[in-house]
């Protein structure tokens, strides 16, 4: 197989700016040998090396995927297990866009999209992706052309509008899994669930046609099992941060989430999290924290501010604040609660419907309060993401309600997940500083 | 019921009323009067007719079902103007004004006479609004949700819509106290088909109608809150002004334009266009033309299934569809049928579904050398100076091309 | 004098007026800071121009700009159409006009017959306008006349990523505090501005010449930055601030 052929190149190729960024981060924390004496962070995670390899391999595989295997461009909340069963190589434009965001490439790519008429007020992941496609540019070498676009509205409706533009550009089929929003109840209504199940069946038909393969029940069960296992392992990794001090930071989590998003349902993803879990448990045993001195613990809500991770994490760490839980990273673990790998279709219908962004604000508040309690946080950072409406609407109220219900104070920080032009670091730092001072 | 027969104040550069229609409401005073009229009308519907009233959010919902159950739908598009009151800051400024203004308005008591709220699933912003108020407060009346399926008609979504409609009927029963009767639904479907037929006549026969845009849209938009039978009566009256003699009798001499967007606010945009010597030859506003079914009705044995069929028969809307090409084809046909010489995209700022299509519309019409103007509205109560300049320049441009 | 016309461009930052002769040449002109009472200013300035050039009272007046509807004129036309006319009068050919004014910027595609083929504007915020430059020059404590020299001497541009004026100001203060060289920052500011305008311009056909008008075009550094960003030469029209008023006069001649 292709992956095998490339393994040789991998040892040499620590390619991909994403990984160079991680390397850079590591270097900054580590220097040549061990962390800088004045670094506010704890020793960097050893697992980072393996993470690099895993993600490099994924992107490198991608370069040679089209023509060799069926390729799908997939939204982060899509029931990808069904595609994996058919041997699709999955590309995650959101993951790729985040990588570009870290690299501060969004401005350039978005400009290209804006020039043809995409408004700057649109989701910055979409602008990064569409711009990259128009420019035929990417920091990961090459993205394979899709044979299929796979979109699930459980994270937002924007992905539908975005993927519809991609479908028009690439002239390939777009499969949609429309997950009705869960209003006013803990569980999705029966006919809503039936709708999702029916769509999953329709999806299989299209995917089989596009791939020219038949899905085997056995393989589907296997992938579902691996997906469930990976989800639980990721959850366990996150749960290590309930300890004091937390063995890693929420910002670390933003990077280590890569495999569960992009490689879910595969054995390597799970092997990686086992490795990471071991390291985290070891650090907990030895009392090693993600930051040197953990005085205050925070919850982060909404997407990361990709272009500012380094600066923000440093500022917080220097002030002895650690992000010990995020609703973003937690989302891929939370899904596990509704999964049943022995019944893949029903499980997918249920677990992919009941994700944080597809459940009402009562549920959101419950979740955030629970996380705040479980992780014993002192406060919350609510990233008010200007180009992510579904995650940001309700935060103004949530800030007050969290204070009432969980007794924690929050900072509503206006920024953007990918577009640095929408954020003033100077102003943002001032707000963060003032927030941190208020804990004294 | 009374219609405004008082000509009202003349707003700068605004056309008053058309002799053929005999009524119109222009200017700020008239806007206040219309709002007052609306409140009185709602009260009258409740008291004299015993109807229940639901405030309905954009965009698309099964109005036939509400009519069949004797429920008056009062649509909430904004309202325009800066959001005020305790709810004004609950939704961030980078979210569209349709959602922001709605929460402010509701929380300030603007919908106090309603018996409940219906939130169709239109987009992320309406989705958020639809949980913000029920979960975190702002109105104490029941909230009903109608989950519009996304994507075109598939076996899964057709089946789903039938179930969702029955579910909504059950929920409506909780408000009205009576259950849905098949005959009433048949009747309601027929009524709304008749309404759509007239709306279509007016929209497609635009060039033969000696009615100012402003007056026409006033009539069309009153359908957002009138009891359908009342709306039908007004439409018939307006359609009476359609020139006899078919194609030959063109009454509109201005520059013909296609307007596409969410909602025509502020309505003074029509006065402005008239002043500039242009008129709306074709309409693709989500609040207006995009909700007029143009296909012949396919009747099923069960009227709920007929209604389900109808829910997929609307013109393409970016909030629901998976095909850009389908929408471009449709807009193309509109331009061709109407002879429109320019396209104006009149979106609401931050409206994701509309904005994602702008590049496609520009490319598509650019390739055919049809000029496209992009305007952003924040549902302000008066047209911004910058918007007026752009409209003027655009009409100047299109008019020039007409000459050469 | 027959065939003489007057053109007024009542902008939000500056008031411009031209007297156009029968042969299509500008006989006289004036550029002064805009006053809030635009009708009054227009009356006064037009009177001065008429007197200086012996132009009769009945000579037609065309008005454009933000205040065009408030002044007494024979015709009020948008600045888009007027700039296209004025530019075409100067160049005689199709092209793309980039007009950067005090508080707005616009890009106008001019057809072979001198009419407007397409346009896009930014008049809702200071990004991409003279105001952006003004604010940042203030921060950097640099005078307009010092700009060409300083930018010319910059080894490399210090990236100023914000296109929003308010954010850019914070960013520049921060850069200065970090000891970044002023010439470099200044060059970066110009690049940021050019980038914003280039986005407004969209995808330009390869063969179409690019012209510039407006007060900001008087700055060589800005022209160079824009030229670099667009990847092609940019020609500044003669008397760049008067292009709109010229077009207004042409519209009533």
Please tell me the predicted confidence (pLDDT) of residue B1: 28
Is the peptide bond preceding residue B266 cis, with omega within 30 degrees of 0?
yes
Q: Rounded mean pLDDT of chain A?
A: 93
Q: Is C162–A424 a contact, with Cβ atoms under 8 angstroms apart?
A: yes
Q: Is A117–C171 a contact, with Cβ atoms under 8 angstroms apart?
A: no
Complex ipTM tops 0.90: yes
pLDDT, one tens digit per residue, over B79-90 is 999 999 999 999
Residue % of chain A over a pLDDT of 70? 92
Q: What is the DSSP string of A136-151?
A: T--TTS-PPPPSEEEE
Bridge partners (DSSP) listed for residue A69 = A66
Residue B27 has pLDDT above 60, yes or no: no
CB distance C19 to C53 below 8 Å: yes
Please tell me the predicted confidence (pLDDT) of residue C124: 74
Most B CBs within 10 Å: which of C80, C85, C109, as the mutation test of the B interface?
C80
pLDDT, one tens digit per residue, over A185-215 is 999 999 999 999 999 999 999 999 999 999 9
Number of domain units in chain A: 1
SS3 C28: strand
Residues 6+ apart with CB under 8 A from A174: A148, A149, A150, A151, A163, A164, A166, A167, B322
The strand pair at B278-285 and B255-261 is best described as: parallel
Residue B3 has pLDDT above 60, yes or no: no
Please tell me the predicted confidence (pLDDT) of residue B6: 32
Most A CBs within 10 Å: which of B147, B317, B328, as the mutation test of the A interface?
B147
Does domain C5-84+242-252 fall into CATH 3.40.50.10190? Answer: no
Please tell me the predicted confidence (pLDDT) of residue B385: 87
Greater confidence (B374 vs B15) lies with: B374
Please tell me the predicted confidence (pLDDT) of residue B247: 56
Question: Touching check for A156 and chain B: CB below 8 Å?
Answer: yes
Q: Please report, for chain C, the start and end positions of each structural domain, with discontinuous segments joined by +.
A: 5-84+242-252
Residue % of chain B over a pLDDT of 90? 82
A181 is a domain residue: yes
- Spell out which residues of chain C touch residue A426, defining contact as CB-CB under 8 Å: 170-171, 173-174
Q: Which residue has the tokens 């009374």?
A: B2
pLDDT, one tens digit per residue, over A89-136 is 999 999 999 999 999 999 999 999 999 999 999 999 999 999 999 999
Which residue range is the domain that position A45 belongs to?
34-437
What is the CATH number assigned to the segment(s) B47-184? 3.40.50.11890
Calpha distance A44→A241 (Å, rounded): 15
Q: What is the mean pLDDT of residues B323-332?
A: 97
A121, A198, A414 member nearest B159 (Cβ): A198
Tell me how close the Cα of A283 comes to any Cα of chain B, in angstroms: 40
pLDDT, one tens digit per residue, over B281-296 is 999 999 999 999 999 9
pLDDT, one tens digit per residue, over A3-22 is 544 643 454 354 444 555 56
C116, C118, C123 member nearest B400 (Cβ): C116
Residue C218 has pLDDT above 80, yes or no: yes
Please tell me the predicted confidence (pLDDT) of residue C246: 98
Q: What is the mean pLDDT of residues A374-392?
A: 97
Please tell me the predicted confidence (pLDDT) of residue C224: 95
Q: How many CA atoms lie within 13 A of B260 on its CB side?
A: 28
Tell me how close the Cα of A386 comes to any Cα of chain B, in angstroms: 6
Q: Which of B385, B302, B313, B319 is nearest to B355 (CA)?
A: B319
- Please tell me the least confidently modeled range out of B32-46, B366-380, C210-224: B32-46
Residue C161 has pLDDT above 90, yes or no: no
C113, C116, C120 member nearest B397 (Cβ): C116
Q: Which residue has the tokens 């013909």?
A: B256
Q: Write the CA distances from B219 to A357, C43, C119, integer angstroms.
A: 39, 44, 34
Q: What is the mean pLDDT of residues A155-163?
A: 98
At residue B141 the predicted structure's pLDDT band, cuts being 50, 70 and 90, is very high
What are the start-end ranges of the E strands in chain C?
5-10, 14-20, 26-33, 61-64, 75-76, 95-100, 105-110, 116-122, 210-213, 234-236
A164, A387, A396 member nearest B324 (Cβ): A164
Q: Is C116–B404 a contact, with Cβ atoms under 8 angstroms apart?
A: no
Q: Write the CA distances from B54 to A284, A384, B67, B77, B113, integer angstroms.
A: 56, 32, 11, 14, 9
Question: Touching check for C201 and chain A: CB below 8 Å?
Answer: yes
At residue A26 the predicted structure's pLDDT band, cuts being 50, 70 and 90, is low
pLDDT, one tens digit per residue, over C105-123 is 999 999 999 999 999 998 7
At residue B22 the predicted structure's pLDDT band, cuts being 50, 70 and 90, is very low
**Residue in chain A lying closest to B89 (CA):** A396
Residue B245 has pLDDT above 80, yes or no: no
**Residue in chain B lying closest to C202 (CA):** B359
Calpha distance A289→A247 (Å, rounded): 4
Question: Touching check for A393 and chain B: CB below 8 Å?
Answer: yes
Q: Tokens in use for A368? A: 């955030």
Give the count of Cβ contacts less than 8 A between chain A and C. 35
CB distance B258 to B281 below 8 Å: yes
Q: Tokens in use for A169? A: 């550009």
3-state DSSP: chain C helix, strand, coil percent, rounded to 5? 45, 20, 35
pLDDT, one tens digit per residue, over C43-85 is 999 999 999 999 999 999 999 998 999 999 999 999 999 999 9
The neighbour count for residue A307, using CB atoms within 10 Å, is 29
Q: Is C174–A426 a contact, with Cβ atoms under 8 angstroms apart?
A: yes
Please tell me the predicted confidence (pLDDT) of residue B21: 35
Q: Is B396–C118 a contact, with Cβ atoms under 8 angstroms apart?
A: no
Q: Which of C4, C6, C2 is nearest to C247 (CA)?
A: C6
A17 is a domain residue: no
The torsion angles phi and psi of A304, rounded to 5 degrees, stand at -70, 160
C66, C81, C124 member nearest B396 (Cβ): C81
Please tell me the predicted confidence (pLDDT) of residue B402: 82
Is the peptide bond preceding residue B79 cis, with omega within 30 degrees of 0?
yes
Greater confidence (B320 vs B26) lies with: B320
Question: Touching check for A170 and chain B: CB below 8 Å?
Answer: no
At residue B14 the predicted structure's pLDDT band, cuts being 50, 70 and 90, is very low
- Spell out which residues of chain B touch residue A116, defining contact as CB-CB under 8 Å: 359, 362-363
Q: What is the DSSP string of B115-184?
A: SEEEEE--SHHHHHHHHHHHHH-S--S-EEEE-PPPSS--HHHHHHHHHHHHHHHHHHHHHHSS---HHH
- Spell out which residues of chain B touch residue C115, defining contact as CB-CB under 8 Å: 397, 400-401, 404
pLDDT, one tens digit per residue, over A297-338 is 999 999 999 999 999 999 999 999 999 999 999 999 999 999
**Ranges A64-68, A122-126, B208-212, most confident:** A122-126
CB distance A299 to A325 below 8 Å: yes
- Spell out which residues of chain C touch residue A104, defining contact as CB-CB under 8 Å: 161
- Spell out which residues of chain B touch residue A123, defining contact as CB-CB under 8 Å: 352
Interface of A with C (CB under 8 A): 104, 107, 111, 114-117, 420-421, 423-427
SS3 A324: strand
Question: Touching check for C248 and chain B: CB below 8 Å?
Answer: no
Q: Is C123–B386 a contact, with Cβ atoms under 8 angstroms apart?
A: yes
In which element (H, E) is residue C41 found? helix C38-53
């Amino acid at each position: 197989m292709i992956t095998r052929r490339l393994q040789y190149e991998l040892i040499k190729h620590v390619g991909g700016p994403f990984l160079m960024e991680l390397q850079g981060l590591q270097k900054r924390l580590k220097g040549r040998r061990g962390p800088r004496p004045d670094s506010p962070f704890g020793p960097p995670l050893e697992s980072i090396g393996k993470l690099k390899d895993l993600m490099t391999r994924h992107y490198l595989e991608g370069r040679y995927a089209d023509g060799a295997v069926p390729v799908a461009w997939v939204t982060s909340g899509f029931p990808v297990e069904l595609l994996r069963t058919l041997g699709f190589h999955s590309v995650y434009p959101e993951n790729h866009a985040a990588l570009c965001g870290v690299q501060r490439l969004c401005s350039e790519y978005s400009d290209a999209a804006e020039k043809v008429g995409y408004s700057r007020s649109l989701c910055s992941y979409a602008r990064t992706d569409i711009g990259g496609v128009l420019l035929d540019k990417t920091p990961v070498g090459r993205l394979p052309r899709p044979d299929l676009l796979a979109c699930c509205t459980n994270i937002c409706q924007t992905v539908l509008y975005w993927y519809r533009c991609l479908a028009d550009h690439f002239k390939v089929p777009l499969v949609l899994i429309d997950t009705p929003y869960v209003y006013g109840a803990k569980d999705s209504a029966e006919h809503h669930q039936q709708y999702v199940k029916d769509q999953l069946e329709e999806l299989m038909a299209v995917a089989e046609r596009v791939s020219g393969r038949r899905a085997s029940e056995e393989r589907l069960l296997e992938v579902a099992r691996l997906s469930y296992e990976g989800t639980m392992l990721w959850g366990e990794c996150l749960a290590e941060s309930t300890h004091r001090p937390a063995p890693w930071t929420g910002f670390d989590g933003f990077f280590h989430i890569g495999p569960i998003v992009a490689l879910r349902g595969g054995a390597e993803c799970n092997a990686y999290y086992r490795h990471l879990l071991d390291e985290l448990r070891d650090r907990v045993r030895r009392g090693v924290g993600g930051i040197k001195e953990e005085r205050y613990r925070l919850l982060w809500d909404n997407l990361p501010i990709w272009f500012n991770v380094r600066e923000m994490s440093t500022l917080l760490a220097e002030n002895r604040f650690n992000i010990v839980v995020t609703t973003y990273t937690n989302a891929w673990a939370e899904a596990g609660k509704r999964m049943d790998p022995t019944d893949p279709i029903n499980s997918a219908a249920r677990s992919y419907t009941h994700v944080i962004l597809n459940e009402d604000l009562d549920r959101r508040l419950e979740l955030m309060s629970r996380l705040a309690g479980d992780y014993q946080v002192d406060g919350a950072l609510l990233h008010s993401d200007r180009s992510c409406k579904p995650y940001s609407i309700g935060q103004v109220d949530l800030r007050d309600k969290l204070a009432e219900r969980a007794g924690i104070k929050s900072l509503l920080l206006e920024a953007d997940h990918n577009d640095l032009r929408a954020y003033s670091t100077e102003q943002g730092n001032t707000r963060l500083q003032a927030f941190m001072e208020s804990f004294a | 019921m009374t219609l405004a027969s008082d000509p009202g104040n003349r707003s700068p550069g605004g056309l008053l009323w058309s002799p053929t229609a005999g009524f119109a409401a222009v200017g700020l005073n008239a806007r206040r009067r219309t709002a007052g009229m609306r409140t009185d009308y709602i009260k009258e519907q409740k008291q004299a007719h015993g109807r229940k009233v639901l405030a309905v959010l954009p965009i698309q919902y099964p109005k036939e079902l509400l009519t069949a159950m004797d429920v008056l739908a009062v649509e909430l598009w904004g309202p325009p103007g800066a959001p005020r009151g305790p709810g004004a800051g609950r939704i961030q400024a980078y979210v569209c004004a349709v959602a922001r203004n709605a929460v402010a308005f509701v929380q300030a008591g603007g919908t106090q006479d309603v018996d409940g709220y219906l939130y169709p699933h239109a987009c992320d912003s309406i989705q958020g609004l639809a949980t913000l108020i029920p979960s975190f407060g702002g109105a104490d009346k029941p909230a009903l949700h109608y989950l519009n399926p996304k994507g075109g008609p598939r076996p899964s979504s057709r089946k789903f819509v039938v179930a969702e409609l029955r579910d909504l009927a059950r929920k409506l029963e909780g408000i009205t106290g009576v259950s849905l009767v098949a005959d009433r639904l048949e009747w309601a479907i027929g009524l709304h088909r008749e309404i759509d037929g007239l709306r279509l006549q007016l929209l497609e026969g635009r060039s033969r109608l000696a009615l100012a845009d402003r007056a026409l849209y006033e009539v069309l938009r009153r359908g957002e809150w009138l009891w359908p039978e009342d709306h039908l009566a007004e439409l018939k009256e307006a359609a009476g002004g359609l020139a006899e003699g078919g194609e030959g009798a063109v009454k509109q001499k201005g520059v013909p334009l296609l307007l596409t967007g969410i909602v025509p606010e502020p309505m003074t945009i029509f006065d402005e266009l008239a002043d500039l010597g242009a008129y709306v030859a074709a309409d693709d506003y989500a609040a207006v033309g995009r909700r007029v079914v143009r296909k012949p009705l396919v009747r099923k044995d069960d009227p709920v299934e007929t209604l389900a069929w109808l829910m997929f028969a609307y013109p393409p809307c970016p909030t629901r569809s998976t095909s850009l090409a389908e929408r471009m084809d449709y807009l193309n046909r509109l331009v061709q049928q109407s002879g429109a010489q320019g396209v104006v995209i009149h979106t609401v700022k931050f409206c994701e579904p509309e904005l994602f299509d702008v590049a496609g519309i520009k490319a598509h019409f650019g390739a055919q050398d049809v000029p496209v103007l992009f305007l952003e509205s924040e549902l302000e109560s008066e047209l911004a100076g910058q918007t007026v300049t752009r409209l003027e320049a655009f009409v100047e441009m299109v008019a020039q091309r007409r000459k050469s | 004098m027959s065939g003489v016309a007057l053109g007024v461009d009542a902008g939000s930052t500056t008031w411009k007026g031209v007297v156009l002769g029968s042969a299509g040449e500008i006989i006289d002109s004036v550029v002064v800071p805009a006053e809030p009472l635009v009708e009054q200013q227009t009356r006064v300035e037009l009177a001065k121009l008429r007197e200086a050039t012996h132009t009769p009272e009945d000579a037609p007046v065309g008005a454009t700009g933000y205040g065009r509807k408030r002044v007494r004129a024979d015709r009020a036309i948008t600045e888009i159409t007027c700039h296209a006319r004025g530019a075409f009068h100067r160049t005689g050919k199709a092209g793309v006009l980039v007009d950067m004014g005090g508080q707005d910027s616009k890009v106008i595609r001019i057809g072979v017959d001198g009419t407007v083929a397409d346009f896009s504007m930014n008049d809702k915020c200071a990004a991409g306008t003279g105001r952006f430059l003004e604010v940042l020059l203030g921060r950097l404590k640099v005078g307009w006349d010092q700009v060409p020299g300083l930018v010319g001497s910059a080894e490399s541009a210090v990236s100023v990523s914000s296109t929003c004026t308010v954010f850019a100001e914070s960013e520049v203060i921060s850069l200065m505090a970090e000891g970044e060289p002023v010439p470099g920052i200044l060059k970066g500011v110009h690049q940021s501005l050019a980038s914003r305008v280039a986005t407004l311009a969209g995808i330009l056909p390869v063969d179409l010449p690019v012209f510039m008008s407006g007060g900001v075009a008087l700055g060589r550094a800005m022209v160079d930055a824009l030229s670099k960003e667009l990847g092609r030469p940019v020609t500044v029209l003669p008397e760049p601030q008067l292009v709109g008023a010229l077009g207004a006069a042409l519209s009533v001649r």
